[in-house]
Amino acid sequence: MKIPFLDLKAGYLELQPEIDAAIKRVLESGWYILGEEVDSFEREYATYCEARYCVGVANGLDALHLALLAMGVGAGDEVIVPSNTYIATWLAVSQCGATPVPVEPDAATYNIDPARIEAAITPRTKVILPVHLYGQPADMDPILAIARKHGLKVLEDGAQAHGARYKGKRIGAHGDVVAWSFYPGKNLGAYGDGGAITTNDTGIAERICVLRNYGSRVKYVNDVRGFNSRLDPIHAAALRVKLKALDAWNARRSEIASCYQIGLAHTGLTLPFVPEWAEPAWHLYVVQHQQRDILQTQLGEVGIGTLIHYPIPPHLQQAYAAACLIQGQFPIAEKIANQCLSLPIGPHLDKFGVSTVIAACRKMV
């Protein structure tokens, strides 16, 4: 039996009548850029995230980039980022002409360590950019307190945290802006690239609306040098259907995570740690093992799909060679990159699949 890391087709088949009808509705409307379908999704997702505004854009990287621009980040500025994250978090900062300043994670949660942030702040710091990595909320209260103390903005990267809660409140508007990705593999995924921001700040929402549409509020009247980054109506229509299933799918992910936590206890694996104030979305279930590559090969040989999120931390990528960040400079991020392994946790993984993964891991570690 083969167990894929994530079965995207199963999600479509579960919702096929509704998704097909939604896409047909868009095709029959004759309106294929922005419009009512995108407007409706933006309203519905803002409500879901407990935020005042949602603005749909073309992808998660654009969501980060445009949010930073809307907060006034530019050349010469610095943005505090996690050393342990997907490179898109850093790339968005670089696209603004600013410098990403890495801060190590809490080794237990994998998220940026608030206790290390203040030492990284300089007169050029403009924004703190925590990531809710793997679907687990970052510890926002101390991050927000530091930001207020130093007069900084906070942009949250929520690309993996659709539906997660921090101290009972959904991720969506704790900081100034939250950037989202609707990449197909996300908990709330489109059928192609898509993204959005949520915020309670009217000015930021309006600026992103302008920036995503060539810098224009009125057609052929361009107020600023903008971008072409708009959420497609077909994706918005599908996302509206999937949004109704998101809580149920997240609950299934949580059940699988609980089974793993029990079934993989007292093995050679380091299991995820969840603070009492966090309700993860369980986008990923990430374990650590000193012989990760051997374990991944062994699991693959018995048909169990796994992935590594992420094998090379941003500071060691060739893309940031000019920053002169050397190996050993961020040892916690490097250890995670060398030892982490993501097990299957998609909402359509059945009980037999879960027990098969547990049994195989216990046998091998």
Answer for the pair 93, 129: CB distance below 8 angstroms, yes or no. yes
Q: How far apart are CA 287 and CA 153, in angstroms?
A: 32
Q: How far apart are CA 314 and CA 94, in angstroms?
A: 12
> What are 152-194's pLDDT values in tens digits?
999 999 999 999 999 999 999 999 999 999 999 999 999 999 9
Cβ within 8 Å of residue 200, ≥6 positions away = 51, 52, 53, 173
| Pairing outcome for strands 195-199 and 53-57 | antiparallel
DSSP states along 262-306:
HHTTTSSSBPP---TTEE---S-EEEE-TTHHHHHHHHHHTTB--
Q: 3-class SS at 2?
A: coil
> What are 92-124's pLDDT values in tens digits?
999 999 999 999 999 999 999 999 999 999 999
> What are 198-219's pLDDT values in tens digits?
999 999 999 999 999 999 999 9
Q: What is the pTM of this model?
A: 0.98
Res. 1: pLDDT tops 90 = no
